[in-house]
Amino acid sequence: MIVTRLDRVLADRKVTAKELSERIGISQVNLSRLKTGKINAVRFSTLEAICRALDCQPGDLLEYIPDDELSERLGLADE
């Protein structure tokens, strides 16, 4: 599963989601969907705009977690 780390990057840069949505020209709703992973795709142009606005790399925003590690990473694994 691909998870987004946009919240972390926003916090590191001290930028609000509202500010970012205004800078890159997408709605706050669509940015929220991206932040929460409730999307199936992201345009390269959107990813590029986010990276430009936040001075980051795509790898700072996205992370691959294998499905078998997902519950452990989220703290849901049986002990």
Q: Residue 37 carries which DSSP code? A: T
Give the pLDDT confidence of 20-53 residue by residue, as tens digits.
999 999 999 999 999 988 988 999 999 999 999 9
Confidence of residue 76 (pLDDT cuts 50, 70, 90): low
- Domains of the chain, earliest start first: 2-73 (1.10.260.40)
User: Model-level pTM?
Assistant: 0.82
Instruction: Report the pLDDT value the prediction gives residue 74, as an integer from 0 to 100.
Output: 66
Cα torsion 26, 55, 6, 11: sign: negative
